[in-house]
C-alpha cells in the first residue's frame, strides 16, 4: 500500500514538472506492472475473482446462519430477509434436546472415524503394493481399481445391499468398515491413487539401502514409507472422515433399523417426522425451516472446528504431496 501511494505521489510530482514521458511510464507500470502479474489491473482482476468465488460459497452459509436465529414472526414477515428482529435461541435448544445432540455427535464421529481409519490404512498398503511391486496382471488390476471410482455408486448399490443382507451386515457399522478395510469404501480408489502417486515419487535408492541393511519389505514400509507419507495420510483421513460424516443416502440404506446414524441423517429424519404431521403451508412447517437451518449449523460445526485445528497441517500436506522425487 505504501508503494502504491509513493508511486501516485511520484506521478503527481512528474506531472507538475511537465515531465509527461516519465509520468506516462510510471502510470503504465502502476497499472500494467513490469511483468503484468505485479500490475494493478492484474491484482484487481484476481481480487474480483476471489471475491466472486467467496460470495458464491459464503452466501448459503451466511443465509443459513442468520435465518437459524429467526422467530416465527420473522419467518412469516416478508420484510425480514437477512437480519432477524431478535436472536431466537429456541431453534438451537430444540435441536439439542430432540436430537440428543452430544450423544448423536459422538455416534456420528464414531461412524465416520472407524471407516476413515480403515480406509486410510488399507489405501496406504494397496497404494504401496501398486507403486513398489511388480506382479502378474498388475496393470489390469490397477485399471479395475480405477474403474470402481468411475462407476456411479447407484449402479452398485443394489448388489452391495443384497450382499450385505446375505452376510448379515445391514444395520451395523460393519457395512462401512469391511469395504473400507478392503479398499472399497467411499472413494477408496481415489485414496489408493493418492498413495500410489506419492510412493512412486520416493527414490528407489531408499528401498535398496534398507534392503542392504537387511530390512524386510514390511519393515521398509513401516519404518521408511509411512513416516514420509504423513502428508498423504492426513489428506486421506480428513477427506474420508468428511465424506463418511456427511453421507446420508448410503447410511439410510445400510444402517436401516440401527440406532447408530450419522448426524445429518438424524436431523433429516427428525424434520421429516415433524413436518409429516402438519399440512403443507402451515405455520408449524414454516417454523421448522428455521429449526432445520439451526440443525444444519450444529451439524457443520464439528467439521468447521476440525478444519480450524488442522488447517495448517492440511495445507502443508497438500503442498508436500506435490513434490517430485527421482
CATH of the domain at 226: 1.10.3720.10
User: Do residues 213 and 283 share a domain?
Assistant: yes
Residue where a domain terminates, one of 40, 68, 88: 88
Is residue 47, in this structure, part of any structural domain at all? yes
Separation of alpha carbons 231 and 227, rounded Å: 9
- What pLDDT is recorded for position 63? 85
What lies within 8 Å, CB to CB, of 88 at 6+ separation is: 69, 70, 71, 74, 290
Share of the chain above pLDDT 70, in %: 79
Residue where a domain terminates, one of 66, 88, 110: 88
- What pLDDT is recorded for position 33? 62
- Side-chain-side CA neighbours of 161 within 13 Å: the count stands at 14
Domain count, the chain: 2
Separation of alpha carbons 210 and 226, rounded Å: 14
- What pLDDT is recorded for position 43? 76
Q: Could you state, in chain order, the average pLDDT of each consecutive group of 10 residues for the chain (326 residues)?
A: 58 56 61 63 81 85 85 72 80 87 90 93 92 88 87 83 88 90 88 90 81 82 87 89 88 81 84 71 69 88 85 67 44
The answer to whether 186 touches 241, Cβ cutoff 8 Å, is no
- What pLDDT is recorded for position 324? 42
Is residue 325, in this structure, part of any structural domain at all? no
- What pLDDT is recorded for position 312? 74
Is residue 8, in this structure, part of any structural domain at all? yes
- What pLDDT is recorded for position 253? 85
The answer to whether 210 touches 97, Cβ cutoff 8 Å, is no
Give me the domain span that covers residue 175.
Answer: 93-320
- What pLDDT is recorded for position 11? 57
The pTM for the full model equals 0.79
- What pLDDT is recorded for position 125? 93
- What pLDDT is recorded for position 305? 87
* Length reported for the chain: 326
Residue 288 has which C-alpha cell? 421448522
The answer to whether 229 touches 199, Cβ cutoff 8 Å, is yes
* CA-angle at 75, arms to 73 and 78, nearest 5°: 95
Residue 13 has which C-alpha cell? 510530482
User: Do residues 208 and 183 share a domain?
Assistant: yes
- What pLDDT is recorded for position 181? 92
Let me know if 112 is exposed, middle or buried by CB neighbors in 10 A (0-12, 13-18, 19+): buried
Task: 165-169: list long-range contacts, CB under 8 Å, 24+ apart.
Answer: 169/254
Residue where a domain terminates, one of 68, 88, 108: 88
User: Do residues 104 and 71 share a domain?
Assistant: no
User: Do residues 110 and 54 share a domain?
Assistant: no
Amino acid at each position: 500500500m505504501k508503494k502504491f501511494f509513493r508511486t501516485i505521489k511520484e506521478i503527481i510530482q512528474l506531472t507538475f514538472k511537465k515531465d509527461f514521458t516519465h509520468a506516462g511510464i510510471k502510470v503504465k507500470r502502476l497499472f500494467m506492472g513490469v511483468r503484468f502479474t505485479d500490475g494493478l489491473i492484474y491484482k484487481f482482476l484476481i481480487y474480483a475473482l476471489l471475491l466472486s468465488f467467496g460470495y458464491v460459497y459464503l452466501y448459503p452459509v451466511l443465509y443459513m446462519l442468520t435465518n437459524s436465529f429467526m422467530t416465527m414472526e420473522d419467518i412469516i414477515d416478508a420484510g425480514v430477509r437477512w437480519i432477524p428482529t431478535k436472536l431466537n435461541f429456541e431453534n438451537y435448544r430444540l435441536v439439542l434436546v430432540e436430537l440428543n445432540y452430544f450423544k448423536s455427535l459422538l455416534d456420528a464421529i464414531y461412524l465416520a472415524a472407524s471407516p476413515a481409519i480403515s480406509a486410510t490404512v488399507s489405501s496406504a498398503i494397496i497404494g504401496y503394493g501398486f507403486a513398489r511391486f511388480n506382479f502378474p496382471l498388475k496393470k489390469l488390476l490397477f485399471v479395475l481399481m480405477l474403474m470402481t471410482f468411475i462407476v456411479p455408486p447407484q449402479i452398485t448399490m443394489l448388489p452391495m445391499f443384497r450382499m450385505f443382507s446375505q452376510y448379515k451386515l445391514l444395520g451395523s457399522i460393519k457395512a462401512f468398515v469391511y469395504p473400507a478395510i478392503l479398499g472399497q469404501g467411499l472413494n477408496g480408489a481415489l485414496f489408493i491413487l493418492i498413495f500410489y502417486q506419492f510412493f512412486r515419487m520416493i527414490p528407489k535408492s531408499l528401498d535398496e539401502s534398507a534392503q542392504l541393511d537387511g530390512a524386510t519389505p514390511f519393515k521398509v514400509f513401516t519404518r521408511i514409507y509411512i513416516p514420509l507419507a504423513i502428508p498423504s495420510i492426513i489428506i486421506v483421513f480428513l477427506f474420508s472422515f468428511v465424506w463418511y460424516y456427511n453421507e446420508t443416502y448410503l447410511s439410510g440404506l445400510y444402517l436401516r433399523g440401527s440406532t447408530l446414524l450419522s448426524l445429518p441423517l438424524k436431523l433429516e429424519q427428525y424434520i421429516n417426522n415433524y413436518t409429516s404431521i402438519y399440512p403443507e403451508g402451515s405455520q408449524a412447517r414454516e417454523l421448522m425451516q428455521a429449526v432445520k437451518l439451526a440443525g444444519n449449523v450444529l451439524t457443520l460445526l464439528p467439521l468447521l472446528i476440525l478444519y480450524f485445528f488442522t488447517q495448517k497441517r492440511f495445507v502443508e500436506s497438500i503442498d508436500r504431496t506435490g513434490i517430485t522425487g527421482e
